[in-house]
Structure 1
């Protein structure tokens, strides 16, 4: 099977990656405590599989940390195959996402009994969201919608997700 399956005609009809406006991605990730980020990750792989038929989803679902760079690398290859260039580093962004996610999860566990660690946790969350936003800008560029305008509005389902998670936090406190 060919490693480059991009064709301009196919790209117009079959999106290979999930387009979403960066502000919406960040707000949804924050207000769903990361659940939207998991949806985002799985949706990207699902669309890529539909567009190319190249991958198996199960390993990517079970071990996402092993496939983040692979996802970003495929975005980069698709951009380059289209004859365009986008200034970014899939490798460094994948490292940033994995490090901030891992350190953030560790700090979350540590900060529960030690509130002094909350500033470090908030810094990890901010850096994670910054890296995630950069990745989404590249994906939006790849799909020909640099601002993510095709998915910028909040839907009823988005508000439902936010409400459920918010109510869960309120009930837990």
Structure 2
């Protein structure tokens, strides 16, 4: 302890769990749970966290929020960044960054189109079911990127971010409620509103 009472306390750099890590680390199990239970909204947070870390690491003038919202325009550059770190390290991780990014972009666009069709009752209830099936389909390329990011960050299993926090559980509960509303909407679309009265 210092005798200078006016000196601000020195922050420890190692208190920040993300300090020194090139990418956002999360275990595959936790990633899948958060992605599915939040109906895919976790992808926004995932993209934001990765771009925020890249911005801080490389002192870049990028905006993580727009890059998360408009992820399809920045997926290839994020996956290329992950691949670049993997290639420059001695870590062996087999994946195709450009191909995985392309699959994610295509699935995201298809998912959005199907969702718009379902919202306009075009092809309902088939488009409603297809829209639901697109949630796990879009998740798979992101999961592949997460595994690559974990390997690039030196934590292949994502053990440093494996446990669910209270905030994770709250978001999962909100997601479950959203899933229930979606399923109720599908049920009503299939049997008709008269069956509920």
Common fold: TM-score over 0.5: yes
Gaps of 5+ in 2: 1-17, 185-197
Decide which structure has the larger Cα Rg and report it: 2
Shift in CA distance, 164/121, structure 1 to aligned 2, threshold 3 Å: closer
- Please give the alpha-carbon distance, in whole angstroms, between the structure 2 residues aligned to 1:129 and 1:38: 12
Return the match for 2:100 from 90, 93, 100.
Answer: 93
The count of residues paired between Structure 1 and Structure 2 equals: 162
Gaps of 5+ in 1: 1-11
Return the match for 1:110 from 97, 114, 117.
Answer: 117
TM-score of the two chains, using structure 1 as the length reference: 0.82
Return the match for 1:52 from 58, 64, 77.
Answer: 58
Q: CA RMSD in A?
A: 2.3
* 1:31-50 matches, cutoff 5 A: 31-50=37-56
What is the CA-CA distance between 1:119 and the residue it aligns to?
4.5
> Which structure's residues are more often helix, by fraction?
1
Residues 1:167 and 2:173 are matched in the alignment = no
Answer whether contact 2:20 2:57 (CA < 8 A) is retained.
yes
TM-score of the two chains, using structure 2 as the length reference: 0.73
- Please give the alpha-carbon distance, in whole angstroms, between the structure 2 residues aligned to 1:138 and 1:77: 11
Shift in CA distance, 122/63, structure 1 to aligned 2, threshold 3 Å: closer
Answer whether contact 1:49 1:55 (CA < 8 A) is retained.
yes
